[in-house]
Structure formats: structure tokens, C-alpha cells
Amino acid sequence: MSYPYQIHSFEQYQSVYEQSITHPEAFWESVAQHFKWQKKWDKILDWNFTEPNVKWFSGGKLNITENALDRHLQENPNGIALIWEPNHPNEKERRFTYSQLHEEVCRFAHVLKNNGVSKGDRVCIYMGMVPELAIALLACARIGAIHSVIFGGFSAHSISDRLHDAKATFVVTCDGAFRGAKEIALKEIVDDALLACDFVQKVIVLTRTRTPVSMIKVRDVWWHDEMKKVSGEQFANFEAEPMDAEDPLFILYTSGSTGKPKGVVHTIGGYMVFTTFSFVNVFQYKPGDVYFCTADIGWVTGHSYIVYAPLCAGATTLMFEGIPTFPDAGRLWDMVDKFRVNILYTAPTALRSLMSYGLEPIVKHDLSSLKVLGSVGEPINEEAWFWFNENIGKGKCPIVDTWWQTETGGILISNLAGITPAKPAFATLPLPGVQPVLVDEQGKEISGVGSGNLCMKFPWPAIIRTTYGDHERCRTNYFTAYPGLYFSGDGCLRDKDGNYRITGRVDDVLNISGHRIGTAEIENAINAHTGVVESAVVGYPHDIKGQGIYAYVIFKDDLDDPDLTRKDIASTVAHIIGAIAKPDKIQFVNSLPKTRSGKIMRRILRKIAEGETGNFGDLTALLDPSVVEQIQNGKLD
Ligand code: PRX
């Protein structure tokens, strides 16, 4: 497989970028022509950011799985598409050639069809990091069903909310999942969720942990039983459903500043073209390279850069079931050594946690296969950047700091490994076709060196199309703050060379270990506890997670045992959202700093949580300024 659109030098980047901005449509057409289309598009781009309405490659017909699988069958059928490393190191890895993966996907597409799934249906996938998860995604895409993957750490309540929102009538899950020393009973969580979702018609259950599970007649079927029914030669292929370029590929829920997560919708054609283009260029993937992304497929990074883009590029993608610290903190380095990994894409939070174990877990492994390192999910602090560079890359591997979001589908700002210059803690330059702008609070564009809110002024092919079932929400969330622009929600600064440095969210969204959670969402969950009167949640700097969750809680009764109550509140949050949203600190307070109109002044709460002792700015707007001192006196360390 060759990549005619791969950029090979900084000068070439500059000229391609220039061309992509002056003639975006011609540029993306020149990339798109290297994919397999059943019918060519009628129109390259139609767009406005007012409704918003964005359509790429309209009229084009394709199936993304023909690009991810079938296309490689002639050239490279025995090339390894997917390597899967299990949680327990003594269990053997599994390898799938392109031809084997194609067959598995086709068989599971038959299973979906046999169980009543048809084009356009929403299929919720709640599984651990097993190869069947990737197979399930691709099988949905094969038959034209829309997958909605829910990260395995979310609660039954969260699943049920998402099932309702997407009106998903099918679920694919596992009996359980292994994560480090833990076993998580996924099917049981699904069962709880389904108590409130009687519209779900079928649940397909894969055996992974052999945990006993309830299997309800008619509704629940075993993955392996269903696969047996399609074991014959006639099921080894499944004719890929012809899809419109603008048909939805998937829904992925993500948090915003309002209480309820929204279903970000991506469509097929543009997403495929952009994610593959970005993969090949950012990581400088070369045929034969082994590429390892440590993300979970439950998040967008896993969708785009474990499954779709690497497979569309004919790459070898390594998928890991476990966690970096199990059975010890050398696990990732052991895998790099074992599989001779060339490209490693991970998150700053993982690096910070591994840094605390010292160098011993690293030095016993041969990391000489590594060529490129990548970071995603949150700003990478300089300490982690230098540690990654010196101890993992041994000073010879470019580090790509990739900035993007669930809504952007793929990487928008990043250096291209070894091609464009890296700068520690900077995501650096926009990819071709990406037009960032910084604006001040009034929406005035800032030119040259400066800082402001990060927006985009032109659509790239993988931009969010809508929020499922509620287009207005998409408009108000991303397109109304600064009319005519897509607003990312991130603050950002630009240096004299045009490099971008992301400074973090400017809205009420936290980034906990690279996972997005809205403060309002956590507050709603805390407020559901019987004894809670009111709460306010803010983020604070956390050594490992990047941000920690600090909750100020007004409790209605006297507290006999504050620690136990804290645990009750945390458990309430875990029950409603999932363990990832549990507050790290809960401070009980008598009141919250509010303005006369009743608005909580979060700025002050944030400063207290961050450890500031004075300098709270103008407090005259507060109804009762003495509250600030009271809260400060009770601050938790
Ligand atoms: O704040 C930015 C941060 O993560 C947010 C997007 O989160 P999510 O949609 O969950 O997607 C994460 C994986 C793409 C952004 O708004 N973020 C992501 N990458 C970076 C980053 N912040 C700084 N530098 C990055 N490289």
C-alpha cells in the first residue's frame, strides 16, 4: 500500500498546507480519490456554519469496511491487520491477517443480520478491549448499522440514558472484562440498564471472563452460538452495504457543559478520508510498521486511531486489553519489545503514572524498534514530554502532540513526525485543510502572537455533523458562541512561528486522565444523594490525572461520620455516571459563594481548590463575601 498523499518534508508541508487552504475542495478531492468508492461523489463540499450544515463528497457511495478490509485483500491478504494482547501476560496474543479479519467481520455481519439488525439501526456496543469489539464495529459498518460504543467504565444508568437517546434496539456486550487485577461484570451492568429499556430487542453476549450471567430467553444470545450458525463457506463474505458518504457511521457520547452527554454523529466518507490522511501523515506510517495506540475503543481515539484509520491505511494495529501497570509498570515496554512496536501513541496521564515507578521497569526492555511517539487527550506537561523523549524515545523518536476532540473526528493540530518541528508542550501546526483561528471573548480574531479561544473557520472532512436527535444542540454548543466559526471549547496560545499551544478547556468541562466530564453532570449525580442540598464541582491540578475533581457540598444534616458520607456520595456518583466521575475531594460547606442573582462564582471555588490563599479578585458581586473565608478555612489538602 502506498500513500500518495503522504508528506515527506517541511517544505512540502508548507506548500500542501497553502494549497489546501486556497483550494480546499480540490485538495480533499485529490486525497479522496485514493480510496475505494462504489460511486464517485457529485459534489465535494456543501457547507454553512449557521445551521450548521456540512456535507462532504455528497452523492458518493462507499462502504468504509471495503476500504478497511477488502481493499487490502489483493495486495496484502496475509499482512497482519490486528494484533491483540490480552490482559494476562501468560495468555497468548491473537493475530488477525487482513483476510482473517475480513472473514470475521463478514460472519459477524451475518450474525447481526440474522438477529434482525438492518441498515440505519443503532447498535450499542459495551465490551472490554477484545478483538471482537473491533469486529463488532466493523460488522455494523459493513451492514450500514450505526454503532454507539459505550466505554466499559460507564454505569448502568449511563448506558440506559444513551440507549434511550440513540433509540438503540440492539446491544453487543461481554459477560465480563479483565482490567488489570479486576474483573468487571459487564453483562450484569447491561442487565441493570435494560430494566429501563424494554425497546431493546437483542443482546449478543461474548464470553470472555466466563462470569456467570443471566441469559433471558429470546432477548439474549451467545456470540459463539450465533457465529457457529454462520460457519459455512457461504458466510465468509458479506456484500458490503452501499452507503452514502453522508450516512452516519457512528454516534459517540461525550460530555459538555450541560448535564447530559450528547451523541456526536460522524458520517462515513469525510471521516474515512480525514482520519486516514491524518494517521498516515502525523505518524508517518510506513507499510510494515507496527503501530500501538494504548487508548480504549470506548473513546474517540480508539475509534479513529485503533480501528478505522490504521485499517484503512492497511496498517498493523496493536490492541491491548489490559492496563499499563499490570502485572507491573513495565507492561507497555514489554509489549513494545515483544511486538517490535514502531509507533507508540499514548496519553500524558499514562506517562505521568509510569514516571512515578522510576526507570527500572523500562531498562530491562529493548525499545530500539520505536521510531515515533505520540500523545493525546490533554496538554502534555514539559516534564512528561522530556521523560517520554529521553527514556522511551532515547532522544531519537519525534513526539507528536496531537490535538483534537470527539467532535473533530481526527487530529487537527499536530506536528508531523520528523517532518515538521516539534516543540515541547505545543501541538504546533494545523494539518492541511485545517484553519484554526483564535478569538477574544467578543469574537474578534486575534492575529499573530496571542492567546484566545480556539475556533475553526472552515470545515474539515471529519467535523461533527450533528448531535443525535437534536440538531439544535449541535448548533448552540459549537456554532453560536462565535457566529461563522466552530468553537472547540479550548483556550489556546500561538507563538511567533504560528505554533499552537492548548491551554485547556475554557468551559465547565473537566479533563480527568484524558477523559471528558462536565461539572454539571457530576453535580447532578452528587445532588441525587438523599442528604445533599447543593453542590459545586471544579477541577484542580492533579499530579497523575492532570485534573482532579473537587466537590463542594452542602449537606442537609449534621454529619456523624463525614468520611463515610463522602464514600456514600462517591458511590452515588459511580452508580449514576461511572467510577471515572468520582470526586477526588469532597469538602462540606455551609454555603456556596453566590452572586445576588444566585449564580455560583466558580472562579473563586476553582482558586481555592487550586490552593490559592488570596487574590480572589473582586468579591463585591457576592451576596455574602464571608463565605469565601469559611470555605477557604475548610479546604482539603
Ligand atoms: O481539551 C482538549 C483535550 O481533550 C479535549 C477533547 O476531549 P475528547 O473529546 O474526549 O477527545 C480526547 C481525544 C482526542 C480537547 O477539547 N485535548 C485533546 N488532545 C489534546 C488536548 N489538550 C491539549 N493537547 C492535546 N494534544
- Domain of 546, CATH number, reads 3.30.300.30
Q: Which of 192, 225, 241 is the last residue of a domain?
A: 241
pLDDT of residue 217: 96
Q: At 222, is the pLDDT very low, low, confident or very high (cuts 50, 70, 90)?
A: very high
Confidence at residue 405, expressed as pLDDT on a 0 to 100 scale: 98
In a domain, 603, yes or no: yes
Kindly report the protein residue whose alpha carbon is nearest to atom 2 of ligand 1. Answer: 378
Last residue within a domain, chosen from 470, 486, 504: 504
Strands 436-439 and 450-456: antiparallel
Confidence of residue 367 (pLDDT cuts 50, 70, 90): very high
pTM of the entire structure?
A: 0.97
Per-residue pLDDT tens digits for 470-503: 999 999 999 999 999 999 999 999 999 999 999 9
Which contiguous run of DSSP H or E holds residue 123?
strand 122-126
- Same domain for 526 and 552: yes
The CA 402 to ligand 1 mean position distance, Å, reads: 8
Report the alpha-carbon distance of residue 33 to residue 40 in Å, rounded.
9
The count of structural domains within the chain is 3
Residue at grid coordinates 463522602? 566
Domain of 343, in residue numbers: 10-65+268-504
pLDDT of residue 533: 96
Is the per-residue pLDDT at 276 higher than 90? yes
Q: Which residue has the cell 457512528?
A: 250
- Looking at residue 615, what is its pLDDT? 81
DSSP labels, 192-229: HHHTT-TT--EEEEE-SS-------TTTEEEHHHHHHT
How far is the centre of ligand 1, averaged over its atoms, from the C-alpha of 151 (Å)? Answer: 17
Rounded to whole angstroms, the Cα distance separating 254 from 393 reads 32
Residue 168 domain-assigned (yes or no): yes
Q: What is the pLDDT of residue 402?
A: 98
DSSP 32-98: HTTS--SB--SEEEEEETTTTEEEEEET-EE-HHIIIIIHHHHH-TTSEEEEEE-SSTTSPPEEEEH
Same domain, 16 and 119: no
Residue 4 within any structural domain of the chain: no
In a domain, 334, yes or no: yes
Residue 488 and residue 509 in contact, taking contact as beta carbons nearer than 8 Å: no
Q: Note whether 340 and 449 are same-domain residues.
A: yes
Q: Return the number of other C-beta atoms located less than 10 Å from residue 28's C-beta.
A: 24
Ligand 1 centroid – CA 404 distance (Å): 5
222 & 290 share domain: no
Q: What's the mean pLDDT when you consider all of the chain?
A: 96
Residue 618's pLDDT is 82
Task: Tell me the average pLDDT across 533-559.
Answer: 94
Quick one: 457 and 493 in the same domain? yes
CATH of the domain at 138: 3.40.50.980
pLDDT of residue 452: 98
Pocket test for ligand 1, best of 456, 490, 515, 521 (most atoms within 8 A of CB): 490
**303 and 442 co-located in one domain:** yes
Question: Backbone dihedral region of 546: left (phi > 0), alpha (psi from -120 to 50 degrees) or beta?
Answer: left
Residues 47 and 143 in one domain: no
Q: In what order do the strands lie in the sheet with 248-254?
A: 220-222, 202-206, 170-174, 122-126, 146-149, 248-254, 262-267, 466-467
Distance CA 592, CA 624 (A): 9
Average pLDDT over residues 191-210: 97
Residue 409 lies in a domain: yes
Q: Using CA positions, which residue lies closest to atom 8 of ligand 1?
A: 405
- Element housing 105 (H / E): helix 98-114
499 and 607 co-located in one domain: no
> What integer is the mean pLDDT of 549-574?
95
Confidence of residue 132 (pLDDT cuts 50, 70, 90): very high
Indicate whether 249 belongs to any domain.
no
Give the residue among 613, 556, 618 at the shortest CA–CA distance from 589: 556
> Is cis: bond before 261, omega within 30 of 0?
no
**Of 504, 535, 560, which closes a domain?**
504
Which atom of ligand 1 is nearest to 411's Cα?
14
- Judge if 315 and 378 occupy the same domain: yes
Same domain for 482 and 574?
A: no
pLDDT confidence tier of residue 614, bands split at 50, 70 and 90:
confident
pLDDT for residue 613: 84
Asked whether residue 445 is domain-assigned, the answer is yes
Give the number of the atom of ligand 1 that is nearest the alpha carbon of residue 515: 10
In a domain, 71, yes or no: no
**What is the mean predicted confidence (pLDDT) over 405-411?**
98
**Distance, first Cα to last Cα, the chain:** 55
Q: Which run of H or of E encompasses 335? A: helix 331-339
Nearest residue (by CA) to ligand 1, atom 15, is 405
Tell me what pLDDT residue 259 has. Answer: 77
pLDDT of residue 364: 94
489: which residues sit within 8 A by CB, 6+ positions away? 256, 257, 405, 505, 506, 507, 509
* Domain CATH for 321: 3.40.50.12780
Contact 541, 489 (CB under 8 A): no
Ligand 1, residues at Cβ distance < 6 Å: 254, 300-301, 376-379, 401-406, 427, 488-490, 502, 504-505, 511, 516
Is residue 196 located within the same domain as residue 299? no
What pLDDT is stored for residue 2 in this prediction? 85
Expressed in angstroms and rounded, the spacing between residue 405 Cα and the centre of ligand 1 is: 5
Percent over 90 (pLDDT), the chain: 94
Q: How many CB atoms lie within 10 A of CB 610?
A: 12
Q: Give dist(CA 29, CA 5) in Å, integer.
A: 11
Do 138 and 233 belong together in one domain?
Answer: yes
Q: How far is the CA of 511 from the centre of ligand 1 (A)?
A: 8
Does the pLDDT value for residue 43 go beyond 80? Answer: yes
